[in-house]
Amino acid sequence: MTATILAAQDVAPIYLQLGAAVFLLGLSARAAAHVGISPVPFYLLAGLVVGALDLPSLDGEVVRFAAQLGLILLLFLIGLEYTAEELTGHLRRFRRAGVTDALLNGPPGVILAVLLGWGWVAAVVLGGVTWASSSGITGKALRDLGRLVCPETPAIVSVLLVEELATAAYLPLVASLLLGGGVIAIAGSVAVAAGAVLVALIGALRYGATLGRLVEHRSEEAVLLSVLGLVLVVGGLAETLQVSAAVGAFLVGIALSGEVAERTRPLLEPIRDFNMALFFLFFGLQIDTGRLPSVAAPISALAVVTVVTKGITGWHAATLAGVDRPGRARAATALIAHGEIAIVLAGLAAGAGLEPQLAPLAAGYVLVTAIVGPVLMRSPDLVLRAVDSLLRVGLPRPGTSREGMT
């Protein structure tokens, strides 16, 4: 009996603190609905508020896992929107946009690191921070704004997917560089990750129907548990092979199609929403607000530059898709937010003791873009006015040449 009472006393603060944090997320969602924008910025700010209170119960592995599960489920449900054939078609069609994305958005981070006098490894890491958009924030904002069915969305998702697949090779590369690995060790890590992604893509194309039959059942409970277990198993295998679990979950979503996909979506959406809210809360908890003022200037510079470069990337991708100007403007705002990959990179750099200012700079940069991105997604007309202003002064429209402006 005594042990039971002590256990209850130990767990009571966890219930109280986690419950208060979740209730704060509910208030944040209400505020976002009131002003008519995505709740993501409000969740991040809630994380800053809760982080300032230093609640130990929110710093455990259970909350961390729940937060990551939200991202995994989000990518899985986005994957359900596309078949394997559509995926490969989009990757072929928008590969130029993926290349443009890397060429435009990696260099700002690299250049800033050089200007700050950091080493080349830090430059590679910061280049990744500015290159990779947040699939979690973008995906949630697209859903919240009802844009999953808009004509530019496949182009946006394709750019994000190119980033995710490229990250499968990029993260092992960075990890090896931070550990001081040799050329052979680095090449081996990258090859394993790239091979895992290729096998997963082939499996999604060839065995998607078999996978659907495996989880199909008349009981919704059986379908829910089967799909959730499958996503977690594939995510675990992906992480074992140094590939993002979110990439694995996305490919599972791609593989499933037809009736099982239609039944799965409404079953998992409430779980996804809860865990995604925890993901953004947990991210906000990790930001050391006391160190942000010292890196405010480079954060601002990076944010301004990459709002423009990511805008050009989105506009270009939508142009390749043959979308009209309003659709291009919406696409120009969709890739601005940065998040998951940048936080992973900052964590790797901090763990390796690389440039003490890099982690707070990355965290602050993510916070700014994660707020600015969803807000601008609500106002694509601002992009159209900016493009029209460029045309009036004789500059080429993003994604076009002077000879081929549309």
**CATH code where residue 174 lies:** 1.20.1530.20
Looking at residue 385, its amino acid is R
Q: What's the domain range around 289?
A: 12-392
- Tell me the CA distances in angstroms from 232 to 3, 207, 226, 272, 309, one per residue in order: 34, 18, 10, 13, 35
Element (H, E) at 10: helix 2-35
In a domain, 291, yes or no: yes
* Percentage of the chain exceeding pLDDT 70: 81
In a domain, 5, yes or no: no
pLDDT at 1: 46
For residue 94, give the nearest of 157, 153, 139, 158 by alpha carbon: 158
Cβ atoms of 282 and 67 within 8 Å: the answer is yes
For residue 246, give the nearest of 263, 232, 260, 226 by alpha carbon: 232
Cβ atoms of 87 and 162 within 8 Å: the answer is no
pLDDT at 401: 47
In a domain, 1, yes or no: no
Residue 323 has what DSSP assignment?
-
CA distance 143 to 332: 17
In a domain, 246, yes or no: yes
241-259 b/e with 16+ CB inside 10 Å = b? bbbbbbbbbbbbbbbbbee
Number of H helices, E strands in the chain: 17, 0
How many domains in the chain?
1
pLDDT at 168: 67
CA distance 162 to 177: 22
Cβ atoms of 308 and 373 within 8 Å: the answer is no
Whose tokens are 């002590």? That residue is: 6
In a domain, 32, yes or no: yes
pLDDT at 206: 74
In a domain, 402, yes or no: no
Query: Rg (Cα) of the chain, in Å, rounded?
Result: 21
pLDDT tens for the chain, 406 residues: list them. 444 444 555 677 777 888 888 899 999 989 888 876 668 778 878 888 887 777 766 666 767 777 778 778 877 877 777 666 666 776 777 788 888 999 999 999 999 999 999 988 899 999 999 998 988 788 888 888 888 889 999 889 889 888 877 776 777 777 777 766 555 666 666 676 667 667 766 776 677 777 777 788 888 888 889 888 988 888 888 778 766 677 778 778 877 766 777 788 888 888 888 887 887 787 777 777 777 888 899 999 999 999 999 999 999 999 988 999 999 999 999 999 997 778 778 777 777 778 888 888 988 898 899 889 988 998 888 888 877 777 676 555 555 544 444 3
In a domain, 136, yes or no: yes
Q: Residue 11: is it exposed, middle or buried by C-beta count within 10 angstroms (0-12/13-18/19+)?
A: exposed
Percentages helix, strand, coil for the chain (3-state, rounded to 5) are 80, 0, 20
CA distance 313 to 297: 24
Looking at residue 108, its amino acid is P
In a domain, 3, yes or no: no
Whose tokens are 């506009």? That residue is: 315
* pLDDT digits 0-9 by tens, 123-182: 999 999 999 898 878 888 888 888 888 999 988 988 988 887 777 677 777 777 776 655
CA distance 167 to 196: 12
Q: How many other CB atoms sit within 10 Å of the CB of residue 313?
A: 29
